Amino acid sequence: MSSSNPNTTGGPSASTPAAVPTTPSASGTSAASDKLLMVRSVDLLKSKDGQNRLEHHTDAYFSDKLIVRRGQTFQMWVEFSRPFNPKSDKLQLLLKLDSIFSSNPGIRISVPLVDVLEDSRWEMKIVEQKDKRVRLAVNTLPTASIGRYKVTVESFSQRGRLLFPCTPNDIYMLFNPWCEDDPVFLDNEAERKEYVLNSMGRIYYGTEQQIGARTWNFAQFEQDILEACLFLLEKGQVAMTEWRDPVIVSRMVSALVNSNDDRGVLMGNWSDSFEGGTTPTAWSGSGDILRRYYKSSGKPVKFGQCWVYAGVTTSVLRCLGIPTRCVTNFSSAHDTDLSLTTDIYLDEKLELIKDETSDSVWNFHVWNESWMTRQDLPAGNGGWQVVDATPQELSQGSYRCGPTPVSAVRNGQVDLKFDTPFVFAEVNSDRIYWQKKPDGSLSQVHVEKNSIGQHISTKAVGSDARVDITHLYKYPEGSEEERIAVETASRFGSKPTLYPSPTVNDVSIEIVMDGAGPRIGGDAKLSIVLKNTSSKQRTASLLYEVMVMYYTGVLKDTVKKDRIPIDLKPQETKTIPWTLQYNEYMNHLVDQGALMLTVTGRVNQTKQILATQLNFRLRTPDLIITPLEDAVVGKELTVKITFQNPLSQVLKNVLFRIEGLGMQSIRMIEHGDVEKLETVTLMEKFVPTVSGSQKLLASMDCRQLTQVHGFADIVVKPE
């Protein structure tokens, strides 16, 4: 615990805090409560095996500093010159995030003392008081900027205000994959252990026929690595207010790990000579590279190639708390002209025209994927994002790439940011051979549709096995969905007329939902409506896929997919009923019962692409609240609350919360289990204290069913 010597925490001596005296009380008394409230010492409880570091999953960091994850509570002790009096004394923490660059204005946060902590707020409360010491629980924001915060304790009493800087005891704040309100939240503990806490990984190389693997030490918890990572963020010179956003931080890191335009960590070298530096194949981990860079105040380390860039990027992002993995793509295309194709030019004799063939195909290329929500994009694009620090092409003026949603690459949605066209071409471009004629015109002589993007690989969760994740990046080669993705993508490229466009667009498609939509526990019934506006018959094969989605827009997994053959007569409108049965989705649902239905297809006669998507949720039942008599101030009122379990499964550990009607605090009722389809009736008694129109709110919560609530308007009569 804390010592009475104020210098043990690096703060000023007790006799020299900065005091701002106020006028003494009129009576001139020198009672103990009137004395200045001086902070003698602060103990941030930062030991590796202590509660803070263990609860925040930061006990592996070599550092002896307090390292916490945002959106979570940490504890600290403050010792005063006299006992703290909650009635007349006040207390707050001042947190400062400052930059070494004067152009970056930094951040100031005041953390007030409150009686009850609420989620998603900067605030603190006293959880224990012993003599002159208090133990504080401090709540942090799940969207706070990450970084190294300087801490000052500010104490107020009737005699004045005092500041106690805790220098050099700073607090390091990181992203929090364990916190549901953090955009990097990952709901699987085994995956969190792998993609955040594991410091050893495997990186794949070679060719698609001969895949090699090397073990890499990410070293994200080693000495000086956290400091090196925060030093790197400073080099990005992005406003510290943006350090709260994993999209911006990962994009910044992809630029800073290469040295091309910002004197970042690694200098690339693809020549035969590595004089004056380390051969890229000689590195076996990121620790030495990051320490060298940090200790030299930012001198680029020689030399890197793609797997070294990816290894270092994994280290930096895992260290900062963003779940990240290394991914290897075999037969990886490098599209230089934004055509979204890999173009090879031949002369009349079918010999390669070298100076015109600038696109290339790498045997393998290693990049990263980081896990986060994408509130800046349409729903369904959260989850794994490609982040690539290997300098290949400029992106908005810097050598960087990503974060690119893997789901957008799969569907050919290359209009979505960031750098989706480039990543799409790496994994799914067609290799097109062009012959140049004497007049300079070009003709296609051959197309390879399935040679690019093979055996996309990453290390398995919890073992050293290789996992093939090609299916996350593209549909099966040659399938109709894969061809639609390629052609959809190419229309946004520099050669939009490369693939035959539809002759006409005379078929429309939409998904229709009746009324307020399906209820949880029942079958979800929607309709797919097709209209043929032409005077000719139209046929198509529709593919539908329905996926479970978190409320953040991150897709979890496919619940059901199938094909529907379509035959439309001239001028016909056809409504196809679509049903998702309860037993098909019951074991897949997450948080708020959100689903995404995607329907795609192609009209056989015209080659028109049909595509539509609908996000819908399974509605939860309401709680029915019924007052059983008139409400009168000071008189007991009985209220009936009714709830029916809509699911054919038991609800475990059901908790009801009731508030409103002028009550000062929430009433919690731990009900236990509710059997399948059972109806529960609660009889609750209240004594209204205020007359007039009031609301009574109730909610029910359990792991299997959320978002269940109800309210009643109750007019309370005066006595």
269 is in an annotated binding site: no
Q: In residues, how long is the chain?
A: 719
Tell me the sheet residues that pair with 160. 21, 157
What is the per-residue pLDDT for 2? Answer: 36
415 is catalytic: no
What span, in angstroms and rounded, lies between the C-alpha atoms of 307 and 285? 10
Rounded to two decimals, the pTM is 0.78
SS3 content of the chain, % helix, strand, coil (to 5): 15, 40, 45
Longest CA pairwise span in the chain (Å): 107
Q: Pairing state of beta strands 524-532 and 383-387?
A: unpaired
49 is catalytic: no
What is the per-residue pLDDT for 596? Answer: 82
What three-state secondary structure class fits 424? helix
What is the per-residue pLDDT for 13? Answer: 34
- Residue ranges of the chain with per-residue pLDDT less than 50: 1-30
Question: Could you identify the residue written with the tokens 């910044």?
Answer: 252
What is the per-residue pLDDT for 3? Answer: 36
Catalytic residue among 306, 326, 401, 702: 306
Q: Pairing state of beta strands 594-603 and 538-549?
A: antiparallel
677 backbone φψ class: left, alpha, beta (φ>0; ψ -120 to 50): left
Backbone angles phi and psi of 227, in degrees to 5: -60, -40
In 3D space, the residue among 468, 431, 482 whose CA is nearest the CA of residue 452 turns out to be 431
The DSSP secondary-structure symbol of 337 reads S
Q: Are 570 and 534 in contact (CB under 8 A)?
A: yes
482 is in an annotated binding site: yes
What three-state secondary structure class fits 627? strand
What three-state secondary structure class fits 425? helix
Burial of 709 (0-12, 13-18, 19+ CB in 10 A): middle
Residue range 90-111, pLDDT digits in tens: 999 999 998 877 667 789 999 9
Q: Are 46 and 65 in contact (CB under 8 A)?
A: yes
Catalytic residue among 56, 57, 334, 365: 365
What is the per-residue pLDDT for 420? Answer: 92
Kindly calculate the radius of gyration of the chain based on its CA atoms and give it in whole angstroms: 31
In 3D space, the residue among 284, 305, 317 whose CA is nearest the CA of residue 202 turns out to be 284
673 is catalytic: no
In this structure, which amino acid lies at residue 583? Answer: N
What span, in angstroms and rounded, lies between the C-alpha atoms of 109 and 149? 10
Q: Are 492 and 413 in contact (CB under 8 A)?
A: no
Buried b (16+ CB within 10 A) or exposed e, 173-193: bbbbbbbeebbbbbeeeebbe
Backbone angles phi and psi of 60, in degrees to 5: -80, -15
What span, in angstroms and rounded, lies between the C-alpha atoms of 212 and 602? 40
Catalytic residue among 182, 262, 388, 506: 388
Q: Are 467 and 197 in contact (CB under 8 A)?
A: no
Q: Are 55 and 179 in contact (CB under 8 A)?
A: no
What is the per-residue pLDDT for 18? Answer: 47
Query: Domains in the chain and their CATH numbers?
Result: 39-174 (2.60.40.10), 189-491 (3.90.260.10), 507-617 (2.60.40.10), 624-716 (2.60.40.10)
Helix (H) / strand (E) element for 247: namely helix 246-256
What is the per-residue pLDDT for 148? Answer: 95
In this structure, which amino acid lies at residue 140? Answer: T
What is the per-residue pLDDT for 557? Answer: 82
